[in-house]
A and B are shown apart, each in its own frame.
Chain A
Amino acid sequence: MNAINSGASKKRLPLKEKYRHLTRGLHWDTTYQPMNKVFPHAAYEGIKIHDWDKWEDPFRLTMDAYWKFQAEKERKLYAVLDTFAQNNGQTNFTDARYVNTMKLFLTGVSPLEYMAHRGFGHAGRQMAGVGPRVACQMQSLDELRHVQTQIHTMSHLNKYFSGFHEFPHLHSRMWYLSVPKSFFDDAVTAGPFEFMTAIGFSFEYVLTNLLFVPFMSGAAYNGDMATMTFGFSAQSDEARHMTLGLEVIKFMLEQDEQNVPIVQKWIDKWFWRGHRMLGLVAMMMDYMLPKRIMSWKEAWSMYFTEAGGALFADLARYGIRLPKYAEVATAEADHISHQNWAIFYQYTHAAGFHTWLPSDEEMDWLSAKYPDTFDKYYRPRFDLWREMEKEGKRFYNMGLPQLCSTCQIPMGYTEPGDPTSIAFRSSKYNGDTYHFCSDGCKDIFDNEPEKFSQAWLPVHQIFQGNCGGATMEDVLKWYKLDGDNMDYAQSLDKKMWDEWQAGKNRVSG
Chain B
Amino acid sequence: MSTKSIGEYNFPAPDRVENFHGNQVVYLHWSKHLSFCAATAYPLPPDMPFGAVISNVIPGTYGPHPDFPRIDWSAVEWRIDGKPAKPDPEKSLKDNGIHHKSLVEFRTPGLDGYRGSAS
Q: Chain A: residues with CB nearer than 8 A to chain B?
A: 40-41, 44-46, 191, 265, 339, 342-343, 346-347, 376-377, 380-381, 383-385, 388, 393, 395, 397-403, 410-412, 414, 419-422, 424, 426, 430, 432-435, 447-451, 453-457, 459-461, 463-465
Contact = CB atoms under 8 A, between A and B. Distances in A.
A457 B39 CA distance: 15
Contact of A401 (B6, B13, B40): B40
A412 B38 contact: yes
Contact of A342 (B4, B35, B64): B35
Interface string B92-116: 0000000111110000000011110
Contacts of B37: 339, 342-343, 346-347, 397, 401, 410, 412
Given A411-B39, A412-B38, A451-B9, 16 more contacts: A342-B34, A343-B38, A381-B34, A397-B36, A398-B60, A398-B61, A411-B38, A419-B118, A421-B118, A422-B34, A426-B81, A430-B13, A434-B101, A455-B15, A460-B14, A464-B20
Interface in B30-74: 31-32, 34-43, 60-62, 64, 66
21 contacts: A191-B4, A346-B36, A377-B119, A381-B34, A395-B35, A398-B60, A399-B61, A410-B38, A420-B32, A420-B112, A421-B31, A426-B81, A432-B17, A435-B27, A450-B3, A453-B15, A456-B14, A457-B14, A461-B14, A463-B23, A463-B43
Nearest to B40: A399
Interface centre among A343, A346, A457, A460, by most chain B C-beta atoms within 10 angstroms, is A460
Contact of A432 (B35, B66, B101): B101
B14 to A, nearest CB: 6
B41 A420 contact: no
A399 B117 contact: no
Contacts of B75: none
A346 to B, nearest CB: 6
A389 B92 CA distance: 38
Ranked 9 nearest A-B pairs via Cβ: A399-B40, A399-B61, A420-B118, A380-B117, A381-B119, A412-B37, A402-B39, A463-B43, A384-B114
A2 to B, nearest CB: 51
A453 B13 contact: yes
Contacts of A420: 32, 34, 112-113, 118
B75 to A, nearest CB: 20
Interface centre among B31, B35, B81, B102, by most chain A C-beta atoms within 10 angstroms, is B35
A268 to B, nearest CB: 12
A23 to B, nearest CB: 27
A414 B4 contact: no
A463 B20 contact: yes
A227 B118 CA distance: 39
A20 to B, nearest CB: 32
Interface centre among A343, A402, A450, A453, by most chain B C-beta atoms within 10 angstroms, is A402
A454 B15 CA distance: 8
Contacts of A422: 29, 34, 38-39
Nearest to A381: B119
Contacts of B91: none
